Chain A
């Protein structure tokens, strides 16, 4: 495996490296050389150590020393270029001079943080909206495999929802709450301006910064797609003053299960089942060996490894820049063995070059190759993780072939059984996995679940942009940018024969395969014009965008192979007598937009910005006559600290007040020609007893030609503050966001015969506060930096079509409506019975009779929880002393609930959390908190608030200690810097949730949020790493 991967890595690295060598124009120094020297200082006369001095066109230059001095040989008629981060590059003809004092002018764009705002950048001090920026520091040296994960806890207003901790699984980003009943609540993601649906292809190491456009005014530049916020990712470039850099980062991570929930042990399990009447003592005496007490977590999990390598090259000068890196990730999940793995090999090449004084061209490109294998999770019909909790402790994990129990031997001797299932599953040593005589749920021996089915998927992606910037006149930049995505993905699932119990078996092998590919391109042309007149600064931006995508897929399946051997497990070896399935098709979409923005600043004190975007979508989304929509926004800022009355104070170094208003759309829930009716041939019927079908046709549904997108309207008020010489920074925002015209499926009166039609009839309101606070300080050599953030979201459904009392969301087996979307409640609140008390006489649960009719029925279900937190927060502390550095980072969520769904009423034999045993009613414990086993209304009990737990948590996500070797040692071995570190990630979690992991306890990111059906937990990680640069 390793050979396979490193081969391409090295070859690719060599390729990139040779490219790097070719790139700079080779200029031969034939002229006479002269020796020059000098000093580089800033405008206040302070020396600038480390400034880069070179002759234009020359390959090598020198850096200034501690006092800003330099000494260099250059061709006689050369022009020297002096560059330094944060300053404008100076170009000075050498002429007859031999000694220089060079004063560098501060570059306004560098002096202050610059933020990416969509089709342009803006000085942070000019920003009038609510934009959160995450810098590369927050992404580096984390044990996260995916970029989204690195956003968690780092900025206010952005919540990351984890539905699985399994290798390769993505996470969901929520910006300022949830504002739709649909599944389309993800922000749009643009990487270097290219719209992508998933950031999984990006290695966190290749990212320069991530900006989240939170308020409607900032997001409005992306119009009809920006209703759920905008995430702008910028990949790293080679832009830097000074010499090129070569870096290598390495991480080695040990993953472990963080927490094993406390389930009933063997004796507790037997007591409970006997009391419930599910089994008798006699049955246990007969079937149980009397000693086994299996802890299934020990069977299912093991310490697993993850390693990451990043090799990169970075260099640039005033003409061009180049960045290239290759990254390799090898992640093995905590489930024992190699059944849950993720491999990702990525390459990133970003380059740009100034061909003419008025023309700069460039490209960014990412190449990714990935593969993953996964286990089942989050399902009441077979989650390996739930099986760890639900399997009975009486069944041994393994039997050696000689000590198989009689009931298993009997089956093995039954020719009919053997014909169906072949044999019981065995591990690699030939020992049989234990088969339960008690639990017949789909949650069986975790290793049977692991080995019975193999789900593999793999693919590759090529994504990037080509761009050209023209600057025909001063201040005007016209950009033409072509973005593209090409990808393919494959998946293959093999289900082998197995037998776990009477309900759970597979007597017919299954094998299915699918392949898909997609092509997307977008072409955007826009112009930025900067105008400065005395105290007025104006930026105009206008542009047009067109995008088109197509994806194709084909799938096939078979249930019989010519030979069921590992090297025959593919569609091509299907037996001629097999039942085969096929599928396939394509999807196509297109969109175009016009957009414009005016930013105005007066004396850097009064700021104003207006944005307008018009979007049109293709005919699968909206009818021709309704396809255009307009999305406006305005925002304003007042830099109070620039006012005369604020001058001279020593406390406030900066104070800005901001306000914005805007409208955004959400196009996600539309599509599929919902606005028109046609005749579809979706019916098949065999009229005779032979395998032949007639095709049936009928209208597709009811037309709603008035359908339109969801629209969000948002107001944001904020303040940015810096105090004590910029040491303390503070940002606060309040927003209120109303999303209208949600698309809901309404059913007309049944006698119309039309099952449902989609109408715009729902509103959701979100409002909240966001705070970010930071402090940077030092005590001698000890430097420290503390940053914290906190955000609240208050969410409520404010309108729904009167014909709909509520929309049902999450379900568990035959229980539906565990979450609901209803006026007056938070989005997808948890709904169920409310446990009042346990009857001390009978041990039966007694539920609150809200209707007061003396009966507990469906009408007595109420809100029993919500997965939406009251607030989420994060805190990061960085400390350094000499070469040592320490990072502490924690993130938390407060006030969210988790509905633990592990007990199916039709599978009463499943094991349960020990708390239900310890707290149960018995004749001796009549003052119980939980009912007697097998009580009346047990079905209601498992779906009541007794199973809804506080899901609040605070996780220390990172404790990292690093040591950078002193520079003077490094220079001797031609190394620029070398840092070693150790880190404990996700080790400590403070929560009262009794399940596995409160952070990953959802079976979906919308209506399944907070419903735990056995989700894959996030592991705790012990990490060793190094960073080295040359």
Chain B
């Protein structure tokens, strides 16, 4: 009998269902339904936007600057970064990951912002400001998309499952939306208390940032009078000024300084070195240290040597400033200016000056070393092996506002203001003020002042100069030798800007695969 009882008990156990134990809670997340309600939640949502925006810097920077005529891709050798090389030499296709990363990155800013605008009720001061920030963020991203890709899908709200096949957007409607967003945002965003007031606001958007973006969006539309109004509002706020010393414009010393319209923050936090924005950005740009015997005094000892100035840029500087130009020497170095250091000679027992030697030819280098985005030791976030920098990422400088305003004023007939604005830039560059002004002057000034700062390609397209300026881009790739001679490392058969194609970037291959309603840009 006993055996039957035991068998029966086990039988019961077998039947005892354990399904309750299959319900496991997910840790570390909140429910989507109850979010976007409080001030605190709104702040968390906009923090995600700022973090996402900062994360886009690397791709955005490389895409736009590699498309311009100011740099070679460089790196350790041919193929070290073939994706950037293809952009730089106009050999890229719809499969370019640089193009798709920038495209998707801009849309991720729009998506995160749309979540806020769609779901946060602006019924408190904090929530109203957050919504204003979100509107600015998405309008800025849309400006980049329209100016680079043209008729992009118009994602003006969080898309539902049935809206995944958006057709090409209507460009005027999208511009109107951009302007509306920025105008509404400017009405609610805070303004700095003084020219040094950004420190108190931190890395958040201001009314003037929204207006500056608005002015730039209007320039793209060739609405010069409206642009002049928007940009003058920024200038006349008297809350922005050029940094006195040009050598410091991109340095950590001027973070949250008077010249920065909008910047993404990076701090010297060794415990979180890896989350300081776009890691490796500065290391990428720093000189190719393993091909050199040393680095200039005060410069971080490791670099990968991407991003080397072109001779054409150097010559443009010489033409305007001469070889000792203040802005030139703070923008790039020639072979002879690479410098060196003092070392003890054990044979003669004296200190000798040892110039930096090039041990392996510098690929993608026409004889010039980039200095504007140098990577000083004191900006390295300790504990990161030089991968991250404490310097803030500048998205727009006041110098750009002045030059955009100058252009807008000139083209809307306000010669006096135009001269005033450009001369502010020239005086800081230790150049003589101009007495009269042409668009050509502005073009030259802007190339030098804002080289490597993500403006050039869109400007060339906007001005209609891209086809002539960029036709030979990537035909040959140079290499710099120790004796200063430059050889041809690579000769391409496919290169250069092609009219009717490269005015707009292609919609990424994947986008075309998954969005059946989108028409590809001409030539792609």
Q: Give the docked Cα–Cα distance between A356 and B7 (Å).
A: 14
When C-beta atoms are compared, the residue in chain B nearest to A287 turns out to be: B359
Smallest beta-carbon distance A286→chain B, Å: 11
The answer, yes or no, to whether A698 is at the interface (CB within 8 Å) is yes
Complex interface: chain A residues within 8 A of B18 (CB) = 546, 590, 592
Cβ contact within 8 Å between A590 and B76:
no
Cβ–Cβ contact B513 & A803, under 8 A = yes
Are B204 and A747 interface neighbours, CB within 8 A? no
A585 to B360, alpha carbons, bound, how many Å?
A: 47
Cα of A857 to Cα of B79 in the assembled complex, Å: 12
Q: Are A680 and B165 also in contact (CB < 8 A) when A472-B4, A695-B47 are?
A: no
B267 touches which of A501, A585, A690, A939 (Cβ 8 Å): A690
Query: In whole Å, how far is A737's beta carbon from the nearest beta carbon of chain B?
Result: 29
Cross-chain contact A685 with B50 (CB below 8 angstroms):
yes
Interface positions, chain B 40-97, Cβ under 8 Å from A, are 41, 43-52, 54, 75-83, 91, 93, 95
Contacts of A804 in B (CB 8 A): 513
Q: Which B residue sits closest to A544, measured CB to CB?
A: B14
Given B95, B166, B265, B289, which contacts A749 in the complex, CB threshold below 8 Å? B166
**A406-427: which residues lie under 8 A (CB-CB) from chain B?**
406, 409-410, 413
Determine if A993 is an interface residue (Cβ-Cβ < 8 Å): no
The yes or no answer to B181 lying at the interface (CB within 8 A) is: no
B290 touches A755 (CB 8 A): no
Q: Do residues A748 and B514 form an inter-chain contact, with CB atoms below 8 A?
A: yes
Contact with A along B169-206 (1 / 0, CB 8 A): 00000000000000000000000000000010011100
CA distance A588 to B22 in the complex (A): 10
A966 interface residue (CB < 8 Å to B): no
Residues of A within 8 Å of B14, CB to CB, are: 525, 543-544
- Are B82's CB and A814's CB within 8 A? yes
Q: Smallest CB–CB gap between A510 and chain B, Å?
A: 9
Complex alpha-carbon distance, A618 and B111, angstroms: 32
Residues of the A chain whose Cβ atoms lie less than 8 Å from the Cβ of B30: 678-681, 697
CA distance A478 to B361 in the complex (A): 78
For the complex formed, measure the closest distance between the CB of B51 and the CB atoms of chain A, giving whole angstroms: 4
Let me know if A624 and B23 touch, CB within 8 A.
Answer: yes
Decide: B7 and A478 in contact? CB cutoff 8 A: yes
Report the stretch among A239-247, A902-910, A922-930 that lies at the interface.
A902-910
Contact of A751 among B153, B346, B490 (CB under 8 A): B153
Known: A283-B359, A502-B301, A802-B513. A592 touches B19 (CB 8 A): yes
The residue that A686 contacts in the complex, of B103, B269, B518, with Cβ under 8 A, is B269
Q: A512 contacts which chain B residues (CB < 8 A)? A: none
For residue B509, CB closer than 8 A to chain A, the reply is yes
Of A358, A480, A591, which one neighbours B22 at CB under 8 angstroms? A591
**In the complex, which of the residues B43, B83, B511 contacts A750, with contact meaning CB atoms closer than 8 Å?**
B511
Q: Is the CB of B164 within 8 A of A748?
A: yes
**Do the beta carbons of B111 and A939 come within 8 Å of each other?**
no
A683 CB contacts on chain B under 8 angstroms: 47-48, 51-52
- Verify A905–B103 contact, CB threshold 8 A: no
The B-contacting residues of A in range 902-950, CB under 8 angstroms, are: 904-909, 936-940, 943
Q: Is the CB of A618 within 8 A of B23?
A: yes
Is A619 an interface residue when CB atoms closer than 8 A count as contact?
yes
Q: How far is the CA of A751 from the CA of B304 in the complex (A)?
A: 33
In the bound complex, what is the Cα–Cα distance between A687 and B198 (angstroms)?
Answer: 11
A243 to chain B, nearest CB (A): 32
Known: A678-B29, A685-B47, A695-B47. A747 touches B514 (CB 8 A): yes
Docked-complex contact B91 and A805, CB < 8 angstroms: no
Which chain A residues in 614-635 approach chain B with CB under 8 Å? 616-620, 624, 627
Partner of B35, one of A688, A697, A908: A697
Bound: A581/B28 CA distance, A: 19
With a cutoff of 8 Å between Cβ atoms, the chain B residues found around residue A406 in the complex are 346
Q: Which of A348-384 contact B (CB under 8 A)?
A: 356, 358-359
Q: Mark A678-710, 1 if CB is under 8 A from B, else 0.
A: 111101111111110111111110000000000
* Residue of chain B at shortest CB distance from A559: B383
Q: Scan B350-383; emit 1 where CB is below 8 A from any A CB, else 0.
A: 0000000001110000000000000000000011
Judge whether B47 and A696 touch: CB under 8 Å.
yes
Is A113 located at the chain interface by the 8 A CB criterion? no
Min CB distance B302 to A, Å, is 6
A8 at interface (Cβ–Cβ under 8 A)? no
- B359:A755 contact, CB within 8 angstroms: no
B window 483-524: CB within 8 A of A: 490-491, 493-494, 508-511, 513-515, 518
B246 within 8 A of A: no
| B contact residues around A543 at 8 Å (CB) | 14
Give the CA-CA distance A693 to B275 in the complex, in Å.
11
A561 to chain B, nearest CB (A): 14
**A805, B509: Cβ atoms under 8 Å?**
yes
- Whether A905 and B204, one on each chain, are in contact in the complex, defined by CB atoms closer than 8 angstroms, is no
Assess A277 versus B361: contact at CB under 8 Å? Given A752-B164, A939-B82.
yes
- Taken together as a complex, chains A and B put the C-alpha atoms of A581 and B275 apart, in Å, by 13
What chain A residues lie within 8 Å of B273 (beta carbons)?
Answer: 579
B7:A472 contact, CB within 8 angstroms: yes
Does B23 contact A908, Cβ atoms closer than 8 Å? Answer: no
Interface string of B264-280 (1 = CB under 8 A from A): 01110111110100000
Residue from the list B4, B44, B77 in contact with A905, Cβ < 8 A:
B77
Cα A904 to Cα B155 in complex, Å, equals 42
User: A279 to B7, Cβ gap below 8 A?
Assistant: no
Whether A750 and B166, one on each chain, are in contact in the complex, defined by CB atoms closer than 8 angstroms, is no
Cβ–Cβ contact A679 & B29, under 8 A? yes
Which of chain B's residues has its CB closest to A853's CB? B494
B104 interface contact, C-beta 8 A: yes
Could you say which residues of chain A place their CB within 8 Å of the CB of B518? 749
Q: Is the CB of B77 within 8 A of A939?
A: yes
Q: A503-B302, A805-B513 are in contact. Are A689 and B265 (CB under 8 A)?
A: yes
Residue from B48, B77, B383, B490 in contact with A579 in the complex, judged by beta carbons closer than 8 Å: B383
| Complex-state Cα separation, A589 to B21, whole angstroms | 9
Complexed CA–CA distance, A905 and B77 (Å): 6
Interface centre among B50, B54, B83 (most CB of A within 10 A): B50
Query: For residue A685, which residues in chain B have a CB less than 8 angstroms away from its CB?
Result: 47, 50-51, 54, 203, 265
Point out the residues of chain B lying under 8 angstroms from A470, CB to CB: 3, 6-7, 10
Question: Given the known A-B contacts A751-B155, A753-B111, are A619 and B22 also in contact in the complex, defined by CB atoms under 8 Å?
Answer: yes
A963 contacts the other chain (CB 8 A): no
Q: Provide the residues of chain B in CB contact with A410, threshold 8 Å.
A: 343-344, 346
Chain B residues contacting A681 (CB-CB under 8 Å) are 28, 30, 44
Determine how close the nearest CB of chain B comes to the CB of A403; give it in whole angstroms.
14
Asked if B32 is at the interface of the complex by the 8 Å CB criterion, the answer is yes
* Cβ of A580 under 8 Å from chain B: yes
Quick check: is B331 within 8 A (CB to CB) of the other chain?
no
Query: B76 touches which one: A588, A748, A854, A905 (CB < 8 A)?
Result: A905
Chain B residues, CB < 8 A from A77:
none
The reply on A554 being an interface residue by CB < 8 A is: no
A857 CA / B359 CA spacing, docked (Å): 31
Task: A503 to B287: give the CA distance in the assembly, Å.
Answer: 12
How far apart sit A695 and B46, CA to CA, in the bound complex (Å)?
10
The contact of A478 among B10, B159, B255, B344, by CB within 8 Å, is: B10
Nearest B residue to A543 by beta-carbon distance? B14
Q: A470-B6, A678-B29 are in contact. Are A854 and B19 (CB under 8 A)?
A: no
Across the interface, which residues of B come within 8 angstroms of A275, CB to CB?
Answer: none
Q: Which of A677, A686, A691 makes the CB contact (< 8 A) with B32?
A: A677
Do A686 and B265 form a contact, CB below 8 Å, given A580-B271, A750-B100, A855-B493? yes
Assess the A619–B23 pair: CB atoms within 8 A: yes
Cα separation A907 to B30 with both chains bound (whole Å): 47
B203: A residues at CB distance < 8 A: 685-688
- A-B contacts besides A620-B26, A691-B272, 14 pairs, CB < 8 Å: A546-B21, A579-B273, A579-B382, A678-B29, A681-B28, A683-B47, A689-B256, A694-B47, A696-B44, A697-B47, A747-B510, A749-B166, A814-B80, A938-B77
Nearest 5 Cβ contacts at the A-B interface: A753-B111, A906-B76, A939-B79, A696-B47, A696-B48
8 A/B residue pairs, CB under 8 Å, sorted by A:
A406-B346, A472-B4, A590-B22, A619-B22, A683-B52, A686-B266, A698-B112, A753-B112
